[in-house]
């Protein structure tokens, strides 16, 4: 099985577009491009990665696809389209000419309408993805898990993956409500989970590997070892950890799992989900 980092980003830093990068996150207020990531992937024996959108103007997709086309180690792209657009079919048809476009993501976290994903126009858009073979990445906070569960239930043939475990409250070890939501979502076999983005939701300067164990236990038990995947969330992870430190959390956790289970988590499941070649 290939080793795949299923969640990372590239950007050419723009203060306006990237306003989500706060003063606290100044370490990532710069360009991050393939030449920055490729040595890290090689150092840690990864064969490739999945490049995920970080901004919502659709023209960003072209930049991501150009980077993917120019670098073989970028195995797939998760872009952005306005799923509520009445011309969505035209856009999806356009992207079908790019083999490395694997799916789409919508930044649902932080939306004023926490249930935006259940609006008829949004669900109509989700309903169009499967016919083009596209996946959908769910980016939400824990208080949106109940809406995500209702969404995935409506589309049993659509592959979904939850990004960053829905960003639980590692800092305060808030787990019970999140745990219930994760278990309900995982009951739907069309839904996977990325064990990613953990350090950025923890206490940046004081996190410990043990902080994440109860959450990893919950996710693995709920989704099983065939529906979870590794994602670095690089370079966002750099606000709290190096690539090696962040990778070390899951390397240690999965060290007692079978070789097959480890291979599935660190690449095989991502390759299957995103249909990577």
- Whether the pLDDT of residue 9 is over 90: the answer is yes
Residue closest to 7 by CA, chosen among 205, 234, 256, 170: 234
Confidence of residue 1 (pLDDT cuts 50, 70, 90): confident
DSSP conformational letter for 211? G
Average confidence score pLDDT of the chain: 97
pTM across the whole model: 0.97
Torsion sign across C-alpha atoms 118, 124, 125, 127: positive
Q: How does pLDDT run across 85-144, given as a tens digit for each residue? A: 999 999 999 999 999 999 999 999 989 999 999 999 999 999 999 999 999 999 999 999
Residue 109 CA to residue 106 CA, distance in Å, equals 9
Alpha helices, DSSP H only, in the chain?
Answer: 34-43, 60-70, 88-95, 120-129, 145-154, 176-186, 198-201, 213-223, 243-253, 259-263, 269-274
**What digits encode the pLDDT tens for the residues 150-177?**
999 999 999 999 999 999 999 988 899 9
Among candidate residues 67, 62, 57, the one with its CA nearest the CA of residue 9: 67
Q: How many CA atoms lie within 13 A of 181 on its CB side?
A: 24
Query: Residue 277: pLDDT above 90?
Result: no
Task: Show the domains of the chain with their CATH numbers.
Answer: 4-274 (3.20.20.140)
**Average pLDDT, integer, range 66-83:** 98
* CA neighbours closer than 13 Å in the CB half-sphere of residue 1: 20
Sign of the dihedral defined by the CA atoms of residues 235, 78, 107, 13, in that order: positive
Do 159 and 192 touch, CB atoms closer than 8 A? yes
Three-state secondary structure call for residue 6: strand
Q: How confident is the model at residue 185 (pLDDT cuts 50, 70, 90)?
A: very high
Q: How many beta carbons lie within 10 A of that of residue 7, not counting itself?
A: 27
Strand bridging mode 48-52 / 228-230: unpaired
Q: What are phi and psi of 174, to 5 degrees?
A: -75, 120
The CA distance from 211 to 198, in Å, is 10
Q: In angstroms, how far apart are the furthest CA atoms of the chain? A: 49
């Amino acid at each position: 099985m290939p080793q795949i980092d299923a969640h990372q980003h590239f950007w050419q830093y723009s203060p306006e577009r990237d306003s989500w990068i706060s003063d606290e996150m100044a370490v990532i207020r710069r360009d991050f491009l393939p030449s920055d990531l490729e040595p890290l992937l090689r150092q840690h024996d990864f064969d490739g990665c999945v490049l995920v959108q970080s901004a919502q103007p659709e023209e960003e997709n072209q930049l991501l696809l150009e980077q993917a086309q120019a670098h073989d180690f970028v195995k797939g792209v998760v872009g952005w389209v306005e799923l509520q657009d009445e011309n969505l079919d035209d856009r999806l048809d356009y992207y079908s000419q790019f083999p490395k476009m694997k799916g789409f993501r919508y930044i649902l976290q932080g939306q004023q309408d926490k249930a935006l994903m259940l609006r008829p126009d949004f669900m109509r858009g989700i309903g169009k993805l499967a016919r083009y073979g596209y996946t959908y990445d769910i980016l939400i906070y824990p208080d949106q898990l109940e809406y995500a569960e209702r969404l995935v239930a409506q589309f049993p043939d659509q592959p979904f993956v939850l990004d960053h475990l829905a960003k639980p409250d590692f800092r305060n070890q808030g787990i019970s409500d999140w745990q219930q939501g994760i278990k309900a979502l995982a009951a739907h076999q069309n839904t996977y989970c990325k064990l990613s983005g953990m350090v950025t939701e923890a206490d940046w300067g004081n996190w410990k590997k043990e902080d994440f164990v109860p959450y990893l236990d919950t996710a693995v038990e709920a989704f099983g070892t065939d529906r979870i995947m590794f994602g670095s969330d690089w370079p966002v992870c750099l606000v709290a950890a190096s690539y090696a430190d962040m990778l070390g959390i899951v390397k240690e956790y999965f060290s007692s799992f079978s070789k097959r289970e480890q291979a599935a988590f660190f690449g095989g499941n991502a390759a299957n989900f995103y249909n990577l070649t």
